[in-house]
Structure 1
Amino acid sequence: MPKVTVIPPSINRTTRQSTTTPTRRKVAAYARVSTDFEEQLTSYEAQISYYTNYIQRNPDWEFVKIYTDEGISATSTKHREGFNSMIADALDGKIDLIITKSVSRFARNTVDSLTTIRKLKEHHVECFFEKENIWTFDSKGELLITIMSSLAQEESRSISENVTWGQRKRFADGKVSLPYAHFLGYRKGENGLPEIVPEEAETVRYIYQRFIDGLTPYKIANELTAQGVPTPCGKEKWSASTVKSILTNEKYKGDALLQKKFTVDFLTKKQQINEGQVPQYYVENSHPAIITPEEFDFVQSEFQKRCVKPYSSTSIYATKIICGDCGSYFGAKVWHSNSKYRRVIYQCNSKFKGSHFCTTPHLYEPEIQEKFLQAFAQYFSQKDAVIKNCQFALTRLKKQESKKAELQDELVAVNEKLKDYIQHGGENFDALNAKYEELSAKLDAEETAESDRKRRIAKMQKILLMLKKTDSVLETFDESVWNAVLENLTVFHDGSLVFLFRDGTEIKV
């Protein structure tokens, strides 16, 4: 009969440590809190102290380190530097055992939790979750972790949904909150609402004024950088996108459009621009305004205008001077560029294009300025009449009632009937569809008319403001007056110039 001798294992197949020679396990702990609140910080410090003593008291364990993350959410391991450093050290063989208070402290994302634990297990690193008494090398460990992680993930989902509901309830109630640390011009007031920071508000007004003066966001950004004005984030260098965001943010006129973005996934925290997927809320007069509504609307219309037609900030004359022969803009041309006779002239950009040459003369900059001063003198002589006409036009424009809301309500009603038809059928689809298209066209026309009305109101406001500030006829050319009151200048073949002012007044020089 064969003789069988049992050779006991000398290496633990999970820990890879010798079973005959006592070895100390290299042990680390992980501590995390997800907010910066004082009570959480106390818990955070307590975790560090507790696990340091807990590991050092065990003679079979060799203390490695306490890895920590403070004020970080556990729904993803992406931004948890302490956690990621611990895993990297464990995979490098520096750790044999990781101790954590609970599964939820380790991760609230089931996929992250299981993936990490399995990766550690492959490298013979065990995890111990004290609260649940789970050892990951135990045969039941992975099942228990799957269940506990799933529960933790659902808890995160529930918390996220509650937070989202609370935010949307605030939006529906018209409560406004700003990212004050990165928002120029406002700080959180005693009542919790935004209040104006005077010195920052001056920077905001400067940005709007320079844009109205004809500068692009890029040029304004360069000016602010050169002047040493700090950005909303406190940096030295301004970007055109930062200036543009200030120029297009309705909060500077005292209103607030809420829920411009929404969270797509509570695990990744990924946000998406709201293009109609969730409700938005527009709150009028929600807080003190830095910019008047008229100035804000004028800037928005100017943005649209610059997108539609060519625009350049290199010269205040660009896109302002029109050829009376062909309708093209005048542009700057350099004569004798490499000699002492170098001159900059302005002439029709299409003067020598096609079979017909434009006969309009070229102009020199001093000549343009001189003719404008003559035209403005005539315009200023009618100052009282112009102010009266502007005020009358403003009153009339403001009294015009918008039918936008009424049309939107009708459109919603027809849309609901169309949905009902799709679900239950009927015989009026063609009539309903025709009505929907008709209302859509009317709404588009009304929105265009309302935009034009706001632009004209802003023009009248700008002219009134400039005329009231100007006490006498200009003796020297003023760039800000040129930009504020002049719509365009048309040059004709006989050399005559017709100045069209923003209120519709035409003066021939």
Structure 2
Amino acid sequence: MRAVIYARYSSENQRAASIEDQTRNCRRRAEAEGWAVVREYADAAMTGSDSKRPQYQAMIAAALRGEFDVLLLDDLSRLTRDSVEQEQTIRRLEFHGLRIVATSDGYDSQSKARKVHRSVKGLMNEIFLDDLRDKTHRGLAGQALKGYWCGGKPYGFKLKPILDSTQRDAYGQPARIGTVLEIDPDQAAVVRYIYERFVDGASYTVIAAELNGRNVPSPGSTWRRKTRRCGGWMNSAVRVIVRNPLYTGRVRWNVSQFVRDPDTGQHKRRRRPQADWHQFQEETLRIVSDEMFDRAKMRTQDRSNPSKRLKSGFRAKYLLSGLLVCGACDAHYVLADERSYACSSRLNGGVHACANRIRIRRDVVERAILDPVRQDLLSPDRVQAMAAEMQRQYVRSVEASQARSTALPRELQELDARLDRLRERLRTGDPDMEPDEIRAAIEGRAEAAGAC
């Protein structure tokens, strides 16, 4: 039988060798069973609650294509730590005839107790993740109450580690007991410029274009990107800065949380009740005055007309949303207005973010894509061919069902034939023995054969 191995570990703080350990356990089981391992899939430093793991999705796609017969895991938690996702995935794989074996926790999809086993294991895995999340949040709350910074590095500031010389880390150096913010003078000057230009009437896009024109590094210019286009300023970065009270020295923590949408699998930010917030004023972090921040806030409220949000590409969903790509910078084309698409980098960051100023009429590009579909895929000949193929698939399915029904134990088929002959002899009045006796004997043997 053909087997594949799926392995995973959760965070960058865990050992990369964990993948090798899991794979070794699975290969040992495959050798013991005589299975041929045809491929290995592994997701490194990815949480089990994320269903969009690339290798996980590749493994499922291969399973649905019938490329292997057995899925080997070290334990079920490597597959997923979401009990709903676990049940849906296992049912899909079992429906396609696959066997799932977890070497460490003993799960086997051919076991009679498999449903109880995976239900209990799935619940335990999900509770583990919830407990880990609560412990992490509790630890961060303790740091926040001590006045330490618990988030990432906001633009305009530096992260300063606080060391305790009486404690040592794993490398013998003074242990870091927390992190605080301190102002970055160069970036703070950019923040003040953004506020000044914004309250003077400049738009987010104009400010972003000006910063790009001056070659000012953006907040994301140091990110380790794999697919993102340029590292220039976008109007979204300007918008975040002019709305952040941290620049007035107002420190807030536990304001929001990310929750997973069960329909899309995406994590969305949700604001917590204000009673749960932890906030305090730290004047050493002030970059702009309260007056400047309030003026910017008033202007952001004036700009909150929903009809003006199309340029962001976040609100409206259209036929080609997320499918068109700029040939100059690889950014997505988004709806610039009701009638045309344009490069999002050009819209949000100006000419210095992307030199491509071409706009495409929405009706033209949609017609260019849909017309070939109508002419080729939905032509009468193609529709007739698809209908014929569907009919052939249905016939094959019926034939396969009939083949399974004829594959009953031979003895059971013979007993069915004897029952037919018995009915005929009873009808003609020529039984060899009492009818009730004959019927009871044959039906008893039929039940025994059917239970095999």
2:282 is matched with 285
Output the amino acid matched with 1:100: L
Q: Find the aligned partners of 2:98 and 2:187 in 1 and give their Cα distance.
A: 55
Indicate the SS of the match to 1:28. Answer: strand
* Matched-pair contact (CA < 8 Å) for 1:210–1:220: yes
2:60 is matched with 87
1:202 is matched with 189
**Larger Rg belongs to:** 1
TM-score, normalized by length of structure 2?
A: 0.55
1:475 is matched with none
Q: Deviations over 1:286-345 (max 9, x none)?
A: 75333344433443355567889xxxxxxxxxxxxxxxxxxxxxxxxxxxxxxxxxxxxx
Structure 2 vs 1, CA of residues 103 and 215 (structure 1 numbering), >3 Å: closer, same or farther?
A: same
Output the amino acid matched with 1:188: L
Q: Paired residue for 1:189, among 154, 160, 163?
A: 160
Output the amino acid matched with 2:255: K
* Matched-pair contact (CA < 8 Å) for 1:231–1:238: yes
Q: How does 1:251-262 map to 2 (within 5 A)?
A: 251-262=246-257
Give the superposition deviation at 1:113.
1.3
Give the superposition deviation at 1:109.
1.6
Q: Deviations over 1:387-413 (max 9, x none)?
A: xxxxxxxxxxxxxxxxxxxxxxxxxxx
* Matched-pair contact (CA < 8 Å) for 1:225–1:236: no
Give the superposition deviation at 1:285.
0.3
Structure 2 vs 1, CA of residues 307 and 85 (structure 1 numbering), >3 Å: closer, same or farther?
A: closer
Output the amino acid matched with 1:35: S
Indicate the SS of the match to 1:127. Answer: strand
Q: Find the aligned partners of 1:286 and 1:63 in 2 and give their Cα distance.
A: 62
Q: Find the aligned partners of 1:60 and 1:222 in 2 and give their Cα distance.
A: 63
Give the superposition deviation at 1:62.
1.6
Indicate the SS of the match to 2:15. Answer: helix
Whether 1:26 and 2:2 are equivalent positions in the alignment is yes
Whether 1:217 and 2:204 are equivalent positions in the alignment is yes
Give the superposition deviation at 1:170.
4.0
Indicate the SS of the match to 1:135. Answer: coil
Indicate the SS of the match to 1:207. Answer: helix
1:115 is matched with 88
RCO higher in 1 or 2 (8 Å CA, sep ≥ 6)? 1
Greater shift in the superposed pair: 133-142 or 265-274: 265-274
Q: Find the aligned partners of 2:180 and 2:62 in 1 and give their Cα distance.
A: 47
* Matched-pair contact (CA < 8 Å) for 1:177–1:194: no
1:45 is matched with 20
Give the superposition deviation at 1:136.
0.6
Indicate the SS of the match to 1:256. Answer: strand
Query: In the comparison of the two structures, how many residue pairs are matched?
Result: 279
Indicate the SS of the match to 1:189. Answer: strand
Q: Deviations over 1:265-303 (max 9, x none)?
A: 598673443263761222200753333444334433555
Structure 2 vs 1, CA of residues 213 and 118 (structure 1 numbering), >3 Å: closer, same or farther?
A: closer
Q: Find the aligned partners of 2:301 and 2:86 in 1 and give their Cα distance.
A: 50
Q: CA RMSD in A?
A: 2.9
Indicate the SS of the match to 2:41. Answer: strand
Q: Deviations over 1:167-226 (max 9, x none)?
A: 44444444323322xx32223112211223333222222212322444232321221122
Whether 1:162 and 2:135 are equivalent positions in the alignment is yes
Q: Deviations over 1:439-467 (max 9, x none)?
A: xxxxxxxxxxxxxxxxxxxxxxxxxxxxx
2:292 is matched with 295
Give the superposition deviation at 1:27.
0.9
Indicate the SS of the match to 2:288. Answer: coil
Whether 1:124 and 2:97 are equivalent positions in the alignment is yes
Output the amino acid matched with 2:159: K
* Matched-pair contact (CA < 8 Å) for 1:171–1:259: no
Q: Find the aligned partners of 1:303 and 1:144 in 2 and give their Cα distance.
A: 54
Q: Find the aligned partners of 1:133 and 1:236 in 2 and give their Cα distance.
A: 48
TM-score, normalized by length of structure 1?
A: 0.50
Indicate the SS of the match to 2:276. Answer: coil
Q: Find the aligned partners of 1:305 and 1:109 in 2 and give their Cα distance.
A: 43
Give the superposition deviation at 1:160.
2.1
Q: How does 1:56-455 map to 2 (within 5 A)?
A: 57-58=31-32, 60-77=34-51, 79-180=52-153, 183-191=154-162, 192-234=179-221, 235-264=230-259, 270-274=267-271, 276=273, 279-285=276-282, 288-301=285-298, 303=300
Structure 2 vs 1, CA of residues 215 and 115 (structure 1 numbering), >3 Å: closer, same or farther?
A: closer
* Matched-pair contact (CA < 8 Å) for 2:5–2:41: yes
Q: Deviations over 1:126-159 (max 9, x none)?
A: 1111112221112222221111111212222222
1:408 is matched with none
Structure 2 vs 1, CA of residues 34 and 269 (structure 1 numbering), >3 Å: closer, same or farther?
A: farther
Indicate the SS of the match to 1:243. Answer: helix
Structure 2 vs 1, CA of residues 220 and 70 (structure 1 numbering), >3 Å: closer, same or farther?
A: same
User: Where does structure 2 lack aligned partners over 5 or more consecutive residues?
Assistant: 163-178, 222-229, 306-452
Q: Find the aligned partners of 1:163 and 1:228 in 2 and give their Cα distance.
A: 39
Q: Find the aligned partners of 1:43 and 1:90 in 2 and give their Cα distance.
A: 24
Structure 2 vs 1, CA of residues 151 and 236 (structure 1 numbering), >3 Å: closer, same or farther?
A: closer
Structure 2 vs 1, CA of residues 121 and 223 (structure 1 numbering), >3 Å: closer, same or farther?
A: same
Q: Find the aligned partners of 1:275 and 1:190 in 2 and give their Cα distance.
A: 28
Structure 2 vs 1, CA of residues 99 and 164 (structure 1 numbering), >3 Å: closer, same or farther?
A: same
Output the amino acid matched with 2:3: V
Give the superposition deviation at 1:68.
0.5
Indicate the SS of the match to 1:40. Answer: coil
Structure 2 vs 1, CA of residues 220 and 58 (structure 1 numbering), >3 Å: closer, same or farther?
A: same
User: Where does structure 1 lack aligned partners over 5 or more consecutive residues?
Assistant: 1-24, 309-509
1:485 is matched with none
